[in-house]
Chains A and B, each alone.
Chain A
Amino acid sequence: MIFTELRFILLFALCWITFFAVPRRWRNATLAAFGIAFYAIFAGPAVLGIVLLLTLAAYVRAPALLFVIALIVAKIPNASWVVPLGLSYLTFELIHIVVERRRGRIAEMSFTALLAFVFFAPARIAGPIKRFPQFRDAVAEAELSGDDVYAGVLRILLGLAKKFLLADILALTVAESQYASSMRQAWMVVLAFGLQLFLDFSAYSDIAIGFARTLGIRLPENFNWPYLASNIREFWERWHITLSQWVRDYVFTPLGRALFGTRLRPYPSAIATISYLVTFAIVGAWHGLEPRFVLWGLYHGVLLAIFNLWRRYVPSSDSVPRRALGIVVTFFFVTIGWVPFFLPLEKAAHMWALMFGLAH
């Protein structure tokens, strides 16, 4: 884990001291310099060069397609020559920059500020996916505060505890998947994976948010008790929030608008269904260019489309029993969906069969 490597901690400590020691106008340069050093140390000069080129491309407003291609290349399975340290997150952030500059929502942006945004080390490993305007303002307004340092350190410790005391122990149960031979074992492994993934991923977010907080910079939250969601839409409002918001803003909404300009205009449910399927196929592929991830994404697209239709005919209710039932049902469907996320397709099929008593 890079966050616990002493080189990272030392680099961050030096960055922290410099950040508050230099005049405010040099803060972006400080973050950029230490971020570049971080990439050079942990990813090597080749990846650093790629990231610098991508950053430059974003600065000169290259077409967003360029970054999509970069993302696809980075996601090619077994392409170890790419070594994309957080490149998935990075390309989404760069697409955000390019699109928002086109839309005129980012009017002024210095190259140094862009470098600081791109190379901000705590968020570079596993997100959260930042937005430039909020980040730029947070850097400019950051103050040295004991409260922030305390809250940041506690958040880092919380993340480390989640990772090492909970997620890593659950991972040992998940590793039993190859020996699972009964319905009970299959459910135990899949439930363990669902919890492990949440704890592991949210731990990385906690640590990233904690490191940033010690600098007085608030990063966006990424998780909000997702397994307490009472429907699948709410789940995606609580799970990997910054990714959900990104695909909402840059895939789902533009696609829906485009479809409204076609002959599908009288059929909003069809437009929503197509938009969900396309959006979540992309979400799946973003996690890995393999059929199993696309299947997982499409599964969630289907769930969201069905929920969208359901909501048209069945009004929502905040009654406690209905909400409790919604939590259970949502958790059940999300849990089933994790199977291809951690197992190759043929093994996933066997695991599903075991879970539902169709195999021995």
Chain B
Amino acid sequence: MKVRRLLFAILWLALIDLFIPPVLQRAEYARYETGAVYRFENSDLFALGPMVRYLREHPRGPRRRTIFLGNSVVFGYGLETRDALPAQFERLAGDTRVFNAAVNGSESGDSYLVGKAVIDSVDTLYVQLIPRDGARPILGTLLPVDDADARRFALDHTDPVEAKLQSLLGRVWRLYAVNDRLQAALFGTSARQYLYLHKRELLLAALGRGRHPVGGQAPSPVGPEGQARRLSPHREGSALPRTLLDLADVAKTHRKRLVILDFQQRVAAADFNAQYAPYAEIVTIDVPQALRVDTQHLTPAGANAVAAALVAHERERAP
């Protein structure tokens, strides 16, 4: 009798599994291709792997694709999702889908690995210049990386036997294979992180006293435009991190546009810009202190001003 119950439970799982592909397809389309602003919840890494896999499996979307990579400055530390630089860029740029794939504490090595993984699935990469070349070891388990990069950054790796077993099980049990993608598509992070972040709203919604946190986000009031200084792509200074040079080579090889955002480092840009034009470019951005909450992070108005300046810069250089 009890064995029969176990078999019954397995049958239920098999039945549920039939509905997983269409559910995942709808959830991912809603998350990655529609107008809702895209950013990792709480700046965690959970959704990075699923996002990269989605982009690699769907190299073309309904709109042009732009990805922003960097640390908390680009992520929008202290800002609502809609007020961060990438979201404001998306609103101002028009017909482009923007992925805010910045994660707090990232270094240029992280951006290099993510950028390289999605290079064929995006049109433009905006990468924050961070003077450190490090990469998080866990990226080795989240992204497709080649052996050379795995050695170069001493990345973690899944045991090959475990990976093979996971692949085999994933072929017969789709929910097992895509559970992280489903969570990332539904919540923008892991289900547990989502529950933790929205526990109050969820509780109030359950009690009928609040709005369920899932749903579209209200448009942000657009901050004062035109406050950003002119972008000046020809300043001289320190050297570009090695990983960003390598990413520029990747962009050039794949004929994609890479814009390196130099907020503070003042690297020598002239030779680089000449060498990599029209594929890669360093732009130096001066943000007045009034548009920053501290020495680095932008206010909503600061993010808006930088976004406006970047959009204007792209329009200037476009024929």
Contact = CB atoms under 8 A, between A and B. Distances in A.
Given A5-B162, A7-B159, A169 B192 contact: yes
A169 B195 contact: yes
Contacts of B2: 146-147, 149-151
Contacts of A150: 2-3, 5-6
Contacts of B196: 169, 172-173
Interface string A133-175: 0000000000000110111010000000000110011001100
Interface in B1-50: 1-3, 5-6
A149 B6 contact: yes
B215 to A, nearest CB: 22
A23 B3 CA distance: 24
B259 to A, nearest CB: 35
A6 interface: yes
Interface in A1-47: 5-7, 10
B169 interface: yes
A168 B192 contact: yes
Interface string B120-138: 0000000000000000000
Contacts of B227: none
A147 to B, nearest CB: 6
Contact of A7 (B1, B3, B162, B193): B162
Contacts, number: 33
Nearest to A10: B165
Contacts of B6: 149-150, 153
A165 B165 CA distance: 24
A10 B159 CA distance: 14
A168 B194 CA distance: 12
Contacts of A153: 6
B166 interface: yes
Name which of B3, B166, B192 has the most chain A CB atoms within 10 A of its CB.
B192
Interface residues of A, number: 16
A306 to B, nearest CB: 37
B102 to A, nearest CB: 21
A6 B165 contact: yes
B199 to A, nearest CB: 8
B162 A172 contact: no
A150 B6 CA distance: 7
B161 interface: yes
B12 to A, nearest CB: 13
A6 B3 contact: no
Interface in B143-196: 159, 161-162, 165-166, 169, 192-193, 195-196
Name which of B1, B195, B196 has the most chain A CB atoms within 10 A of its CB.
B196
Nearest to B193: A172
Contacts of A10: 165
Interface of A, secondary structure class, is helix
Nearest to B3: A146
Contacts of B166: 6
A147 B165 CA distance: 29
Contact of B192 (A6, A7, A149, A164): A164
A348 B265 CA distance: 39
B169 A149 contact: no
Given A164-B192, A169-B195, A172-B193, A7 B5 contact: no
A299 B45 CA distance: 39
Nearest to B162: A7
Nearest to A148: B2
Nearest to B192: A169
A172 B192 contact: yes
A169 B194 CA distance: 9
B26 to A, nearest CB: 25
A359 B94 CA distance: 51
A219 B110 CA distance: 46
A151 B195 CA distance: 30
Nearest to B163: A6
A6 B195 contact: no
A154 to B, nearest CB: 9
A164 B183 CA distance: 14
Contacts of A5: 162
A7 B161 contact: yes
A153 B9 CA distance: 11
Nearest to B176: A6
Nearest to B169: A6
B7 to A, nearest CB: 11
A6 B170 CA distance: 11
Given A146-B2, A153-B6, A7 B195 contact: no
A153 B13 CA distance: 15
B75 to A, nearest CB: 18
A55 B2 CA distance: 39
Given A146-B2, A149-B6, A150-B3, A6 B162 contact: yes
Interface in A183-240: none
The 9 closest A-B pairs by CB, nearest first: A150-B2, A6-B165, A172-B196, A146-B3, A169-B192, A146-B2, A168-B192, A7-B162, A169-B196
Given A7-B159, A147-B2, 5 more contacts: A6-B165, A6-B169, A149-B6, A150-B5, A164-B192
21 contacts: A6-B162, A6-B165, A6-B166, A7-B159, A7-B162, A10-B165, A146-B1, A146-B2, A146-B3, A149-B3, A149-B6, A150-B2, A150-B3, A151-B2, A153-B6, A165-B192, A168-B192, A169-B192, A172-B192, A172-B196, A173-B196
